[in-house]
Amino acid sequence: MSSIIETIENEIRNLETAVRKENIGHIISIADGVARIEGLSDVMYNEMIEFPGGIIGQALNLNEGEVGSVVFGDISGLKEGDEVKTTGRLFSVPVGMCLLGRVVDALGNPIDGKGPVEAKEFFPVEKIAPGIIPRRSVNQPVQTGIMSIDSMIPIGRGQRELIIGDRATGKTTIAIDTIINQARINDEGIASGDPEFRPLYSIYVAVGQKNANVARTIRTLEQADAMKYTIIVSAPAADNPANQYIAPFSGAAMGEWFMSKGKDALIVYDDLSKQAVAYRQISLILKRPAGREAFPGDVFYLHSRLLERAARLNEENGGGSLTALPIIETQAGDISAYIPTNVISITDGQIFLETDLFNQGIRPAIAVGLSVSRVGSSAQTKALKKVAGQIKLQLAQFRELAAFAQFGSDLDPKTKAQLDRGSRIVELFKQPALKPFSMEVEVGIVWAMQNDFFDDIPLDQITRAKLSLQDHLQGRGSSVLESIKKKKELTDDIATALRKTVEEWKQTWSND
Amino acid sequence: MKIWFQIAADTVGTAADAASTNPITRLLVNFHVDTERFVAQVLAILIVFVALWLFASKPILKTMDERRKKISDGLEYAEEMKQKLAEAEKRQAEMLKEAALEAKRISEDAQAKARELVDRSAAETARRNEEMVARTREALELERKQMVSEVREQVSRLVAITSSKVLQRELSAEEKSRFANASLKEIAQQ
Amino acid sequence: MLKIKDRRQRMLVKRMVELSLKDGIPDSERVSAVLSAVRNQTPRSHRTILRAYLAAIRSLIRESTLEVVHAGALDSQGIDSFRKGMETRMNRNLMLDSREDPSLIAGSRVTIGDHVWDASLRGLIARLID
């Protein structure tokens, strides 16, 4: 009790000048999360505005004699004539390690019932992205744990890789698998005590999603023990559009804190299509001119300034990185619509998920022909690069020849071999959700495929064979996996040991 | 040839005369051994012997040699096979031994892994318990902080209300006027 | 403030406002004269023009009013020099509107347009609570 009195006494002592200057305004109208305010002559663009009841807004429209502001929070208590004040600050959110394991809203307020966030620093949600000079090229991998991505569409730290597809094609699952795999790698790396190890922290921004989906995601991450490395920023569908618009920026600010401290972070925006729709709603209410599909003219800038903040910095600037995995939902597979084409042109590659593949049982339903990573193999470990170098080409050849597959008996042996290999690779890359592979196991399995160990296994047994090989590698071949993990490349010795282990497994394998 | 018969006959004749008192001669006479015939018989036997030796015994010997060789080959082969069998049995025994060793290794591996699993799960349980305790402690700490913060807020409000009431009552009109004028000066200086 | 789409009407309102000012402050006599002139002319969209004129004059009055709310009597010389000082600072003429409000406890609160200077004890205590 005495400490409470002391705190208040200190507060009184530390009060500065008795005069406080404010710039005020009055609400003219308020509707749909947007307030029109008269006054506020000193307000700056994007400045934080204080409404009665501690509600915060952001000045977005500075007109002659009138200011248009989005209101974050519950507007039901506000009315015409209410006095509002400028704060002299840009809208900022709490940042720091204290946010890990927490679920916060778009303003950084905790909503998980675990008490206040003891943040010491606040970063502005709107910030200019790093320029050209502070950056360096991407060459550290982000292991998603999904074999098809890690081998053919590798992602690097500091890259922006778009995940695009129709509804219910597994976009969120890819992102969650990546977060879970990174948490596992973090645990192993920290336990090993390696001073060179750099953990990758994750931020998951849920925009416009159902509360039930967000709750399910949180539970999944908790069960996989990944929450301790993750921040969840939630602006569900029930939130007002201003919160849905600002949530990705808040997440980016939190990610930038990690980057500025020389650490690595991964941010998933799920999804940006809903943010664009929320921004469209705000812009229409603010009476900004509507363009194509009724989106405002600066919807490209909305996404480009957000995604440009993901970067890899050079050593002079800390060496940190922010990797972005934006998610876009298409309608009927149309990737040539307005928002998808915008975001495809901004990002460094895309992972395209197709409904047809999903329905055929190929999950993850990645359309390898349409997916690309512009960073490519510079973001792959040497071991994976060596074994997976030819896979994309083999699959491309397989797809070309697939039309002839019905004439199975009339083909020359070489074509038949290509078809067989291709269909086996497709089967090999099927992977259940929430079961990411470690890099070493991926190397082992892909190596076995490329060295013909799966050629005599029937197609319907490939999955079982893959799991059996995984068990064997993790059991009897654990020393080989350990060497691959440590050296990250496939030296001759390791290759020999791997061959011995796989041959051992093959001897015990039976097709029945 | 005739000369030789003649010489032989003469020799036998001479010999017959000398042997008439000889027991051998008496034996020959008793058994009707005709000297000429005897020589011819001996010659015939010799001829038969030579013919047999040339035409019969050689092939027979050859055949016998071949048979002997075959038999010895067969014996050798049998010996070799016996050796190979012994080796094969030895190898089989070694393989069985190796397989048994391998099985033992696998079983030991499995046991070690099982022990590891049990240890890990025990460690995991211990860790989870620790985590639960830590979380409970955190939750209690959080509650305490929240309570302190609430109390602080209440006390601040109380202090503020009390202060304003007290000040309103306690400040004289002169003091209030002085404060008002001073505040205007301060604003003008801002 | 001038939300009239028609350019000519906008110019008319602007002219009406200019004619209503005396030393930069709306003058009641001049306002009456302007209103009667407009009444006689009966332009198109009379009501719209009047509404826009009202909004403009209201805004000007607000910008030109130096509102001083104080707890405790103010020295008339002091307040006069204060007004002059603020006129120099804001670079325009100001009308003084001064009233006493005991709820401020002590000190004063000055408002010009949307700028507020709070030097009252009530404001201080409110900041303490925050």
Instruction: Give me the pLDDT at residue A157, please.
Output: 95
Mean pLDDT of the residues in chain B: 83
| Residue A110 DSSP one-character state | B
Question: Residue A9: which pLDDT band, with cuts at 50, 70 and 90?
Answer: low
Whether A102 is a known active-site residue: answer no
| pLDDT tens-digit readout, A114-147 | 888 989 999 999 999 999 999 999 999 999 999 9
Residue C116 is nearest to which of A15, A22, A65, comparing CB atoms? A22
Instruction: Give me the pLDDT at residue A379, please.
Output: 86
- Angle in degrees, CA A315, A319, A322, rounded to 5: 150
Q: Do C108 and B184 touch (CB under 8 A)?
A: yes
Q: Say which residue, A99 or A392, is predicted with more confidence.
A: A99
Last residue within a domain, chosen from A53, A69, A89: A89
Per the domain annotation, does A366 fall within a domain? no
> Using H for helix, E for strand and C for coil, what is the string for C53-82?
HHHHHHHHHHHHEEEEEEECCCCHHHHHHH
CB proximity B188 to A under 8 Å:
no
Residue C117 is nearest to which of A11, A15, A19, comparing CB atoms? A19
Instruction: Give me the pLDDT at residue C3, please.
Output: 65
- Whether A47 and A154 map to the same domain: the answer is no
Q: Do C118 and A19 touch (CB under 8 A)?
A: yes
CA A181 centroid distance within chain: 13
- Whether C70 and C109 map to the same domain: the answer is yes
| Residue A105 DSSP one-character state | -
Structural domain span for residue C34: 7-63
Per the domain annotation, does C2 fall within a domain? no
| Residues of chain C found within 8 Å of residue B152, distances taken between Cβ atoms | none
Q: Do A20 and C127 touch (CB under 8 A)?
A: yes
Per the domain annotation, does A378 fall within a domain? no
- Whether A321 and A467 map to the same domain: the answer is no
Instruction: Give me the pLDDT at residue B148, please.
Output: 85
Mean pLDDT of the residues in chain A: 91
Instruction: Give me the pLDDT at residue A412, please.
Output: 83
Instruction: Give me the pLDDT at residue A4, please.
Output: 64
- Whether A164 and A249 map to the same domain: the answer is yes
Name the active-site residue from A219, A374, A464, A476.
A374
Q: Do A15 and C117 touch (CB under 8 A)?
A: no
- Whether A436 and A476 map to the same domain: the answer is yes
| pLDDT tens-digit readout, B51-108 | 988 888 888 889 999 999 999 999 999 999 999 999 999 999 889 888 888 888 888 8
- Whether A280 and A412 map to the same domain: the answer is no
Question: Residue A359: which pLDDT band, with cuts at 50, 70 and 90?
Answer: very high
Per the domain annotation, does C44 fall within a domain? yes
Tokens representing residue A110 in the block: 């905790």
* SS3 call for A421: helix
Tally of CB atoms within 10 A around A344? 17
Question: What gap in Å lies between CA A441 and CA A473, rounded to an integer?
Answer: 7
Per the domain annotation, does A440 fall within a domain? yes
CB proximity B149 to C under 8 Å:
no
Per the domain annotation, does A161 fall within a domain? yes
Q: Do C70 and B180 touch (CB under 8 A)?
A: yes
Per the domain annotation, does A363 fall within a domain? no
Interface of C with A (CB under 8 A): 1-2, 59, 107, 113-119, 123-124, 127-128
Tokens representing residue A373 in the block: 């990573």
Tally of CB atoms within 10 A around B48? 10
Question: Residue B188: which pLDDT band, with cuts at 50, 70 and 90?
Answer: confident
> Using H for helix, E for strand and C for coil, what is the string for B59-71?
HHHHHHHHHHHHH
Per the domain annotation, does C35 fall within a domain? yes
CB-side exposure of A170: number of CA atoms within 13 Å?
25
CB proximity A25 to C under 8 Å:
yes
Per the domain annotation, does C29 fall within a domain? yes
- Whether C35 and C14 map to the same domain: the answer is yes
- Whether C37 and C78 map to the same domain: the answer is no
- Whether C50 and C71 map to the same domain: the answer is no
Last residue within a domain, chosen from A43, A61, A89: A89
| Residue B53 DSSP one-character state | I
| pLDDT tens-digit readout, A394-422 | 888 888 888 766 665 677 888 888 888 99
Question: What gap in Å lies between CA A256 and CA A202, rounded to an integer?
Answer: 12
Domain count, chain C: 2
Q: Say which residue, A408 or C65, is predicted with more confidence.
A: C65
> How distant is the Cα of B121 from the closest Cα of chain A, in angstroms?
15
Question: What gap in Å lies between CA A108 and CA A257, rounded to an integer?
Answer: 14
Per the domain annotation, does A360 fall within a domain? no
Helical residues (DSSP H) of C1-130, grouped into ranges: 7-20, 28-41, 46-64, 76-90, 121-129
Question: Residue A301: which pLDDT band, with cuts at 50, 70 and 90?
Answer: very high
> How distant is the Cα of B161 from the closest Cα of chain A, in angstroms?
14
CB proximity B168 to C under 8 Å:
yes
pTM: 0.79
Q: Which helix (H) or strand (E) holds A100?
A: none
* SS3 call for B23: helix
**Which residues, in sequence order, are CB contacts of A202 under 8 Å at separation 6+?**
A178, A179, A182, A183, A226, A229, A230, A231, A265, A266, A267, A268
Tokens representing residue C31 in the block: 């306002």
- Whether C73 and C57 map to the same domain: the answer is no
Tokens representing residue B175 in the block: 């003091």
Q: What is the largest distance, in Å, between two alpha-carbon atoms of chain A?
A: 94
User: Phi and psi dihedrals of A321, rounded to 5?
Assistant: -150, 155
ipTM value? 0.81
- Whether C16 and C29 map to the same domain: the answer is yes
Per the domain annotation, does C24 fall within a domain? yes
Q: Do A19 and B186 touch (CB under 8 A)?
A: yes
- Whether A197 and A331 map to the same domain: the answer is yes
Residue B164 is nearest to which of C68, C108, C122, comparing CB atoms? C122
Q: In this model, does residue A1 exceed pLDDT 60? A: no
Question: Residue C1: which pLDDT band, with cuts at 50, 70 and 90?
Answer: very low
- Whether C55 and C70 map to the same domain: the answer is no
- Whether A409 and A485 map to the same domain: the answer is yes
Q: In this model, does residue A160 exceed pLDDT 80? A: yes
Last residue within a domain, chosen from C15, C48, C63: C63
- Whether A183 and A82 map to the same domain: the answer is no
Question: Residue B5: which pLDDT band, with cuts at 50, 70 and 90?
Answer: low
Is the distance from CB of A125 to CB of A249 less than 8 angstroms? yes
Per the domain annotation, does C83 fall within a domain? yes
Question: Residue A75: which pLDDT band, with cuts at 50, 70 and 90?
Answer: confident
Interface test with A, best of B107, B152, B153, B184 (most A CBs within 10 A): B152
Domain count, chain A: 3
- Whether C35 and C15 map to the same domain: the answer is yes
Tokens representing residue A243 in the block: 């919160």
Instruction: Give me the pLDDT at residue B1, please.
Output: 54
Q: In this model, does residue A83 exceed pLDDT 60? A: yes
For residue A56, give the CATH number of its domain: 2.40.30.20
Is the distance from CB of A433 to CB of A363 less than 8 angstroms? yes
- Whether C13 and C59 map to the same domain: the answer is yes
Query: Mean pLDDT over residues A60-76, rounded?
Result: 89
Q: In this model, does residue A17 exceed pLDDT 70? A: no
Q: Is A219 exposed, middle or buried (0-12, 13-18, 19+ CB in 10 A)?
A: exposed
Instruction: Give me the pLDDT at residue A11, please.
Output: 63
Q: Do A39 and C118 touch (CB under 8 A)?
A: no
- Whether A345 and A428 map to the same domain: the answer is no
- Whether C72 and C125 map to the same domain: the answer is yes
Amino acid at A461: Q
Q: In this model, does residue C19 exceed pLDDT 50? A: yes
Q: Do C72 and B187 touch (CB under 8 A)?
A: no
- Whether A99 and A236 map to the same domain: the answer is yes
CB proximity B151 to A under 8 Å:
yes
Residue showing tokens 């035409």: B55
Q: A118, A56, A60, A64: which is closest to A87 by C-alpha? A: A56
Instruction: Give me the pLDDT at residue B108, please.
Output: 84
| Residues of chain A found within 8 Å of residue C117, distances taken between Cβ atoms | 19-22
Per the domain annotation, does A358 fall within a domain? no
Per the domain annotation, does A429 fall within a domain? yes
- Whether A343 and A390 map to the same domain: the answer is no
Interface test with C, best of B157, B170, B181, B185 (most C CBs within 10 A): B181
> From its phi and psi, is residue C105 left (phi > 0), alpha (psi between -120 and 50) or beta?
left
Q: In this model, does residue B13 exceed pLDDT 60? A: no
| Residues of chain A found within 8 Å of residue B151, distances taken between Cβ atoms | 1, 4
Q: Which helix (H) or strand (E) holds A37?
A: strand A34-39
- Whether C76 and C125 map to the same domain: the answer is yes
**Which residues, in sequence order, are CB contacts of B56 under 8 Å at separation 6+?**
none
Residue C105 is nearest to which of B164, B181, B185, comparing CB atoms? B164
- Whether A291 and A408 map to the same domain: the answer is no
Residue C82 is nearest to which of B156, B167, B188, comparing CB atoms? B188
Q: Using a pLDDT cut of 90, give the percent of chain A over it.
A: 76
Tally of CB atoms within 10 A around B123? 10
Q: A300, A258, A310: which is closest to A275 by C-alpha? A: A300
- Whether C94 and C52 map to the same domain: the answer is no
Structural domain span for residue A427: 385-508
For residue A147, give the CATH number of its domain: 3.40.50.300
